Amino acid sequence: MTAVIASLGAALIAAAVSIVSLCLQRKWKKDDQSAGKLDAISTEVQSVKNTLTEHIATDAEADAKQARRRIIDFSDECRRGTRHSEEHFDNVLEDIDAYEKYCAAHPQFENRKAVQSIRFIVEIYDECKRKNDFI
């Protein structure tokens, strides 16, 4: 009888170990699948982040080019004798600030296209301010 009880005990222990092992294998398999899904999600998030970073950089460059165009156009108007209000000067001076900040932060950006225009606008602004000669 003792041998039967010992055999049953051993069988129960073996069965319990098998059940625990099977459960652990299933959990590990699920964890592996979850890890694979997390890796895929992480890769997709990184891809979206890279795309967004590129898009932001492209927009910032486009904004700088538009500011440069407005600066050059304003300078051309001044050279043709068109007078401007102080508010219009303030707007173009904001463009100049934004453009110069972008150029300082991006040394590879072609910057020499508006240097003379900026200098001319600032000179005209200073003269108008000194004489109170805005329209």
pLDDT by residue, tens only, the chain of 135 residues: 555 555 556 665 766 667 766 666 676 666 666 667 777 777 887 887 788 788 888 899 999 999 999 999 999 999 999 999 999 999 999 999 999 999 999 998 887 789 999 999 999 999 999 999 888
Quote the pLDDT of residue 99: 95
What is the extent of the structural domain holding 18?
Answer: 1-31
Same domain, 73 and 120: yes
Report if residue 41 sits inside a domain: no
Cα-to-chain-centroid distance, residue 89: 31
Q: What is the CA radius of gyration of the chain?
A: 36
Overall domain count for the chain: 2
Within-domain flag for 120: yes
Are both 63 and 17 inside the same structural domain?
A: no
Going 60 to 63 to 69 to 72, the CA torsion angle's sign is negative
For 112, residues 6+ apart whose C-beta sits below 8 A from its C-beta are: none
| Statement to judge: residues 53 and 27 lie in one domain | no
Spell 96-133 as b/e; 16+ CB within 10 A means b.
bebbbebbeeeeeeebeebeebbebbeebbeebeeeee
Residue 130 lies in a domain: yes
Residue 43 maps to a domain? no
pLDDT reported for residue 120 = 97
